[in-house]
Amino acid sequence: MTNNETSDFRLLREDGVLTGYEGECPEDLDVPEGVTEIGDGAFAGCGFYEVSLPESLRKIGKGAFEDCCFLHETVIPEGVAEIGERAFAGCSNLKTAILPKSVKTVGKSAFDGCIWLDKAIIYGRETEIGERAFADAVALRIDCGVLTGHEGESPSFLEIPEGVTEIGAGAFAGCVWLEEAVFPESLSIIGDGAFAGCIRLERAEQPYRSRENGKRARSGELLLSENIREICSDAFAGCRLSSISGIASKETVASDAFRGDTVFWIENGTLMGRFGDDPEVPVIPLGITGIMDGAFRECAKLTEICVPAGVRVIGADAFRGCPKLKKAVLPEGLDTIDDRAFADCPSLEEMDIPGSVKLLGISAFRNVPAVPFELQIKDGKLTGYNGPCPDRVEIPEGVTEIEREAFGNFDSDEACGPKEIAIPKSVTKIGDGAFSFCEDITIVSQNPAAKEFAEKEGIPVKDR
């Protein structure tokens, strides 16, 4: 007799096949070693809470545990090769089903009706899954740490188990009912199109990061960690995500990972950059205190930007070179507009600089029609200019140095600056490339230093 067998309960066996039982079912079943098969319908409708299966088991027959509605836990041992049709169908309280690599086939409707099955994993690379085997659940296919796909219905909530290091290409593509996903600490790669077309996915996070800083992912947020090494092309294309946080660097994310959307990269209240498509009128999330250097640089489609209240710093080159930008709304309380923040935005005609701005960087509004032309001079050094540059510029007496790139633009092939510049006698030093890309410029001066510079740079010069 086994641990379960009593005068009221006895297992029926024939040549290693457990065919059924006699008597009243106990709450827990311990199938003895030596049993190689559980026969068709052997325990259908029994009231077991837990079932322990032996290492000798090789097959679970059709309907073997069908309608065991109280069963909530069983471990399928390594060595089982076949799970028959409807083997666990109707086990409405079953919470876990782990299928080892040895399982070759899972029959039709094997886990149909397991409505509380929230952890189902298939470890066999080539396991054949029958029709509706996981009709009311989702089963994850995992091979050597790579989550390669899933079986069953599209879930609304997905929790990927610890140990998974990669979510493979297209693993959850088109799961239109998926709204939230939780990733393990072990995850490092999210493959091509892994969640593409998950049109309701609006929240995903690695929970250990959330625990350590008390933060949870907000609606629209992808909250990750520096363990993530790569987010591949189209990984989240077509999802409802609007921001990403926690990644180590911009290079972690493929430029088209969020194809069809604009997703902001935010760290500790600073908007670091963006991924996905260039926006026309982006909605920057509330709670941002700074916009990082180059965050919207050369955003070809940007036409209007409203910087939200609370932003105190706009970094260098943040909106530089946005050719279609027409309107910028800047909040009161803004403290710093750094070097070239809005430089070379030739369509920007509507903008007011708040009175709260204390630090205006070099050439912050160079070639911007919304502000008047003005040379930037400090301690005798001409560092740059703001506004649209006229064809002729007269540098005032008293300026001793014209700094590197004051009228130049090393990062662009577009011509800028004046056609003619008058340099006074007080100038003793002109930095390399001070007039780079100033098309057809002529220097007007009797200053020896200016003439020497003009000769070195091949710039025409004429006397005043």
> Do 228 and 107 share a structural domain?
no
- Domain's final residue, options 371, 397, 428: 371
What pLDDT sits at residue 5?
58
Structure tokens, 342: 């809005």
> Do 59 and 133 share a structural domain?
yes
- Domain's final residue, options 98, 129, 153: 153
Q: Which helix (H) or strand (E) holds 452?
A: helix 448-457
> Do 134 and 2 share a structural domain?
yes
> Do 381 and 367 share a structural domain?
no
> Do 134 and 3 share a structural domain?
yes
What pLDDT sits at residue 47?
93
Q: Which helix (H) or strand (E) holds 190?
A: strand 189-190
> Do 286 and 196 share a structural domain?
no
What pLDDT sits at residue 7?
60
> Do 362 and 382 share a structural domain?
no
Which CATH number covers residue 356? 3.80.10.10
Domain ranges, residue 436: 376-462
> Do 180 and 145 share a structural domain?
no
Q: What is the spatial distance between Cα 74 and Cα 55, in angstroms, rounded to a whole number?
A: 13
> Do 235 and 148 share a structural domain?
no
- Domain's final residue, options 131, 153, 175: 153
Beta strands in 49-137 (DSSP E): 50-52, 59-60, 73-75, 82-83, 96-99, 105-106, 119-122, 128-129
Q: What is the spatial distance between Cα 62 and Cα 64, in angstroms, rounded to a whole number?
A: 5
pLDDT by 10-residue block (mean), the chain, 464 residues? 64 94 92 96 95 97 97 94 97 95 96 92 92 92 95 90 96 95 96 97 80 72 94 97 94 95 95 94 94 96 96 97 96 97 95 96 94 95 94 95 82 67 96 83 93 91 84
Residue 171 and residue 150 in contact, taking contact as beta carbons nearer than 8 Å: yes
Which SS3 state, helix, strand or coil, does residue 212 take?
Answer: helix
What pLDDT sits at residue 1?
43
Determine phi and psi for 73, rounding to 5 degrees. Answer: -150, 130
Q: What is the spatial distance between Cα 297 and Cα 318, in angstroms, rounded to a whole number?
A: 6
Please give the distance of CA 173 from its chain centroid, rounded to a whole number.
15
> Do 5 and 117 share a structural domain?
yes
Structure tokens, 86: 């409807």
> Do 145 and 36 share a structural domain?
yes
> Do 75 and 29 share a structural domain?
yes
What pLDDT sits at residue 423?
96
